[in-house]
A and B are shown apart, each in its own frame.
Chain A
Amino acid sequence: MAWGVGSILNMGVGALFNSQANIQTTGNNISNVNTVGYSRQAVRQEEATSLTSRAGQVGQGVNTTEVIRYFDAFLESNYLDKVGTSQRFESQYSQLRYVENIFNESNVNGLSNSLTELWKAWNKLAQQPDSLPTREALLGTAGTLASTIRNTDASLAKQEEQLNAMIEQDVTTANQLLKEIADLNKEINLSYQAGRNNPNALMDKRDQKVRELAAIIDVKVEDRGPGHYNVSMQNGYTLVQDTIPFSLEIRNGNIDYNLGPNSPFKPYLKDPADPDSMVHPAIKFEGSDYREYLVQVDSPGAVDGDPTATPPVAAATFKVSVDGGKTWLTNPNTGGDTWDALSTPQKIGNLEISFSKGEVLPLSKEGPGSLAEGDKFVISPKKDVFWVSPTSDSINISPQIYGNGQDNKLRMTGGSLAGILEFRDYQLGEYRTRLDAFAKELIWQVNQIHSNGAGLETLTGATGTYMVGDPKKALGSAESLFTWADKLQQGSLTFEVYDKDGKSVIPYPGLDVFKNFGKYDDNGDIILGTETDVFDPSIHSLHDVACAITESTYVDKDGNPVKPFAASVTSDGRLEITAKEGHSFAVTTDSSGLMAALGINTFFSGDDAGSMGLNDVLSNNLNLINAGRVNGAGEVNSGDNKTAFDLADLANKKVSIGTLWNKPTDQTLNDNYASLVTKVGADTQSVKFTAANETAMALDLYERSEEISGVSLDEEMSALIKFQASYKAAAKLITTADEMMQTLLSLKQ
């Protein structure tokens, strides 16, 4: 084919169109200079195929092929990675700044100061043990301390509540993003034609959504062209498989069953009492905590065993770990690290764990309710985020950090969701647990001393402030569900008993409660063969203690035996002691710790930061604040300051405070709290540093992607000038062709 004016005209039109497309694209770039997620676009053009003519190959102009966007997938994947990490620490840092304020005592008086004030108030009472105004002031100071501790805990609890709401929000947002990404994939697949039709706007939008997702959870992207765009977590769990979105969910108090291949244990059993009932889980728990509890069967057997068989069959035993099996918790009752698998709840750590017997098949290891060695249960007593798997049960992806500070790589490792969960479980959770442990030890130390003391008045009766879950079980055992079970020890308890004139009725050492003590049956009769003079927390129950107090006898002046007390266990598991008409009493010596543990003759009530308060009876009667104690003559004298002195000296006592996952340390109470503040400060400082570091790196990557994808106005302006000129030239080409045409036509004249 020959070439001619028509072909020049065509070429002009092509050039004109090309310039137009370029100007349009430049204009689009300029318009979107501030649009988040926009990638700079450019027109890809190529020289049109040349035609062979007599003059050889003659160019036919330009072909405008496609509009491309400047985008570096490698850089983007690095950026996504860093965004996740930086968001994890940024979200932690913003939370820590808030927590730090709660613990900040640099310029205001806080908890530490209140504690110091308490020691001062006890010292004042030691100076003036008989002064009522001093007692009133002490009560006020102690009340302030208790409310400061409660408020600190309440602020942290409030924050935890907000965190849980944020977690739900993040999960909802993430699920929404996953759907949107899948939807975008669908649209992109529809319009994408490689090399010809690029859905740049849709892809920008998708990349932006992925960035948003990466800020919430760690992601990695695999893009192998249309139809093969997958998003997954770093650990490989798929989040979007091209057009199919997966999802995350929140579960509260999940139990994972990890039974051995031959385990006879059935995760869910029918209730034998009600065969039509719904199935119920075979292992149950009550309570909540910040760590996962790994329950691992140590020796196989049936739940509860069979105590009636001859010889009795022992129950299966299990071990518990809160650090994923690295170390095992100690059973305070036995000193070992195993518990019997029982159908009654047992207090282990902060949980009450029980097994279900299901249908009872004694002696048989094959029946339901039997456990095999190595059977594992993971109890997650908190709100956790799970990855919903299409094929198996949901998988827990809440971050888990090992003792050495390493992340569990099978869990979430990035994004704000990981940051918030980590903050909740490993920082806030630790602070709350340590504050609880601090408050619990403070309460115990004060009560232990106070309960051995005596006030300006003797007691006519007392009701314990602490409840025992099962009054028939040994107080020191896990089954008693008793908050102070591990504080009790072998020992004795003596009361001094007074008549209505305040004269002691029994020669020293007073009424020995555990003289001729033992286990008592339901009628309150002692069981033969169990006699002893010493209380043993691994044997004796609250019921036994109540019976022993009721049965305590002294011989009066006329030689008649008198039982001065009526003691009982209230329906909610508290000990109630009433002195009979004409009697009153004071605690002489309690080496068993029972009085402090049951909350009789105590100063504080409550057993953690949130429940700490003053024993109600004190505010009604200041005389019951114990400044002195019963002396060797059986008297309580108003000038005796022994108990107040010892309580003031508690400021110097090194006490051992630990948590389930912190080794106990021996420090004074003030130092213990100070080290908690140091911990908060150090966490904040280190997270602040890491967050700044990671954010700087993320910013650097962002700038590098901006270098490629960002719009430079100067550049676009020069491009505009360039394309305007080329447009003019193309137009000129058409004019020229037109003129040529005119010239050609005019030849005929």
Chain B
Amino acid sequence: MALRVTQGMMYSSFVGNMNMNLSAYMESNIQASSQKRVNRPSDDPVSAGRILSTRADLSKLGVYEENIEQAMGWLNLADTTLAGTDGSVQSILSTLKSLAEQAATGTYNESNREQIGMQARELFEQLITLSNTRFEGRHIFAGHKVDGLAYEQALGTSIKGEVPDDGSGITSQDIYVDPSGDLNATTIIRVKGPNANANADGEVTVAEAEFEYWDADKKEWVDATKSTVTNPDPTAPDSILIEAANGVKMTMLCNEKDRNGVVTVTKTVNIAEPREAENDHYQDNGTWFYVRPTAVYKGDDNYSEVSTAYAPTPAAAVRFDDSNLVINGNFSKDTIIRINKVENGVIDYSYSVNDGSTWIPATTPNKADPSFAVPGGTLTAKGAALTAADANTQMVIHPHRADINFQISEDDHITVNMVGANIFGGRYDYQGGSKDSKGDGRDYAVILDNPKPDENLFEVVGDLVGALETNDQQGCQEALEKLSSVMNVVLTRAAEVGGRENRLISQQANTVMRTYAEQDNLSSMEDIDITELMTKLAQQQIAYNSVLKSSSMIMQMSLVNFL
């Protein structure tokens, strides 16, 4: 309670009160016009920060939802392509199977088989088209190589008749046919006999063998041109080139060599006895080659991984030579392993899956062939137990990668594409022919190990086409069984796609639910309660009015008025 009240005091107190009331009034007015409770960070600093984080989370959920939609597109297409009701890989294989069944019966003659062969060839080409299915212009079965074809038609070889059974016999794997030859016909080549170099069993080395091919027009056997292929790399196996009808150029390996170029296996074949002009009795004797259609996978794979070491000392470099590192498992990320410390029989190491940005520590017992566990598998360093001087050695696992992943939640992602080779098989030029990854000197497309040759779709179907076109009833019979296995592989892959689709659906529901929850949360933080605000506004109006009223009343009072 003031003892003396002066005009100055009254005036400043009026102005102060009016300002205070008016600014509170304005504050409510801003909230009313923006409909928001927090209009600047200082209104509610904690909420202001959380609002930004929640908005970022919402945007992230939007991204996941979009990714899920996109992934659905990719996987639906893969699903229908593989196992749809009509025109899918699965249905074409069924058709082929029934064709093979017909052709395998003895009542069909050569021209019947030829007709079926034409139909089978059409279906074979349709399968290639399906393997090249694209989503938004990107090939879905080509791994990371989305911009190029997943499969191209090429020529493969089926070996029939006799081959030496001592392990030196030629296999389809040793033969490469240049795809520049006639892709629309099956050519028969066989080892010509007699041959002075042949042993008593009729076996002869590839290098010394002579070849002849069947001329379908003249109906006679014609000698094929044979020449030696020169390769500047002395460690590469020797090979010969055989040229036959229809522009067929067949490269055949003569031997296998080790790393130093020393011959380990010399390839052999069996000579065929010269006979009448017939071409459908290969069972009799000799090694026969049927050059028929196949397909080459042009995409990339997620198979093998390579590891390499970086050592701090020359001694460690010898200890950790790349050839001593063995990896086991299935890796999806480049992984770096760093040895921190070796003591008391324990190796202290860290690994990083983001190029050294973050490291996760781990330990392993120090023994001979120490093994390091990392996400996806293990790396073993063959050799003696480590010493303290090996600290700071780094090892890198660098996988082939072919998966296209979309993020569908903070810690989950989905692979939207497929490695076509795992479904369709065919031949595959490992690493695009740029390198010789298998270390066997073959720098051409070879038949895949997985799926197994009997489950290899394009090889099996190609084989069937070859058998039909050469009126080989037994070949058709053999193809029947293989086709069932192939269908199983395709079904398994389709089921895998279906599984991924199911994951997407449940993740989508989850994302939508989280979006609602976050929106609710955001609204509760930043939106104004209208009823509350309107009540407040009314109260503030009354307060302001009364300040104006009382101030004006008091300000009029002065002694002067009474003098």
Contact = CB atoms under 8 A, between A and B. Distances in A.
Asked whether A and B interact, the reply is yes
Interface string A109-123: 000110110011001
Interface stretch (A138-146, A194-202, A383-391, A488-496): A488-496
A629 B393 CA distance: 24
Nearest to B562: A717
Given A631-B399, A632-B304, A681 B413 contact: no
Interface in B291-344: 300-301, 304-306, 308, 310-314, 316-317, 322, 334, 336, 338
Contact of A677 (B41, B312, B432): B41
A637 interface: yes
B354 to A, nearest CB: 7
B171 interface: no
Contacts of A703: 2, 9, 12-13
A624 interface: no
Interface string B349-372: 000101111000000000000000
Contact of A681 (B5, B45, B410): B45
A557 interface: yes
Contacts of A677: 41, 48-49, 52
Contacts of B437: 507-508, 633
B434 A504 contact: yes
Interface residues of A, number: 99
Contacts of B136: 128
Contacts of B434: 503-504, 633-635
A593 B317 contact: no
A631 B430 CA distance: 13
Contacts of A557: 232-233
Interface string A424-436: 0000000000000
B559 A681 contact: no
A112 B399 contact: no
Contact of A635 (B16, B138, B431, B558): B431
A591 B394 contact: yes
A591 B45 contact: no
Interface stretch (A13-21, A180-188, A353-361, A530-538): A530-538
B334 A589 contact: yes
Contacts of A126: 405-407
Given A504-B434, A533-B312, A707-B3, A489 B356 contact: yes
Given A100-B40, A680-B41, A633 B63 contact: no
Interface stretch (A210-218, A370-378, A445-453, A573-581): A445-453
A32 B55 CA distance: 59
A674 B6 contact: no
Contacts of B60: 116, 119, 651-652
A591 B407 CA distance: 25
Interface in B364-396: 392-394, 396
B44 interface: yes
A713 B7 CA distance: 7
A534 B432 CA distance: 31
A67 interface: no
B42 A107 contact: no
A512 B67 CA distance: 37
Contacts of B147: 130, 638-639
Interface of B: prevailing SS: mixed
B34 interface: yes
A706 B6 CA distance: 7
A588 B45 CA distance: 45
A639 B355 contact: no
A633 B431 contact: yes
A635 B147 CA distance: 14
B474 interface: no
A643 to B, nearest CB: 10
A649 interface: yes
B49 A681 contact: yes
B497 to A, nearest CB: 17
Given A100-B42, A126-B407, A706-B9, A115 B56 contact: yes
A116 B49 CA distance: 15
Contact of A631 (B13, B300, B410): B300
A522 interface: no
A405 to B, nearest CB: 17
Interface string A646-666: 101101100000000000000
A101 B56 contact: no
Contact of A707 (B9, B45, B352): B9
A678 B47 CA distance: 8
Interface string A91-133: 0000010001101111100001101100110010011101000
Contacts of A712: 4-7
A713 B559 contact: yes
B36 interface: yes
Contacts of B417: 639
A36 B408 CA distance: 69
Contact of B145 (A107, A514, A634, A639): A639
A80 B5 CA distance: 22
Contact of B308 (A509, A633, A685, A711): A509
A41 interface: no
Contacts of B352: 591
Contacts of A100: 40-42
Nearest to A706: B9
Contact of A116 (B12, B13, B36, B59): B59
B554 interface: no
B420 interface: no
A408 interface: no
A590 interface: yes
Contacts of A491: 310, 336, 356, 394
A706 B55 CA distance: 52
Contacts of A106: 34, 36, 38-41, 43, 48, 51, 526
Nearest to B359: A489
Nearest to A685: B42
B74 to A, nearest CB: 10
A123 B407 contact: yes
A668 B407 CA distance: 17
B39 A107 contact: yes
Interface string A250-261: 000000000000
Nearest to B333: A642
B396 A591 contact: yes
A504 B8 CA distance: 89
Contacts of B143: 637, 639
A629 B406 CA distance: 16
B513 interface: no
B398 interface: yes
Given A107-B39, A633-B437, A445 B357 contact: yes
A708 interface: yes
Given A509-B308, A678-B41, A640 B401 contact: yes
Contact of A713 (B313, B404, B526, B558): B558
Interface in B183-234: 232-233
Nearest to A120: B63
A65 B147 CA distance: 108
Given A126-B407, A671-B53, A534 B392 contact: yes
B278 interface: no
Contacts of A675: 49
B401 A631 contact: yes
B6 A492 contact: no
A514 B310 contact: yes
Contact of A673 (B52, B59, B145, B526): B52
Which 6 interchain pairs have the tightest Cβ spacing? A681-B41, A678-B49, A681-B45, A639-B146, A637-B144, A710-B6
12 contacts: A116-B60, A515-B310, A533-B317, A637-B146, A638-B147, A640-B404, A681-B42, A681-B49, A685-B43, A711-B7, A712-B5, A713-B6
Given A104-B41, A707-B4, 20 more contacts: A119-B63, A123-B407, A127-B66, A490-B394, A491-B394, A492-B310, A494-B308, A534-B310, A534-B392, A589-B336, A590-B355, A591-B355, A632-B401, A633-B400, A639-B146, A641-B405, A681-B42, A681-B43, A684-B42, A712-B7
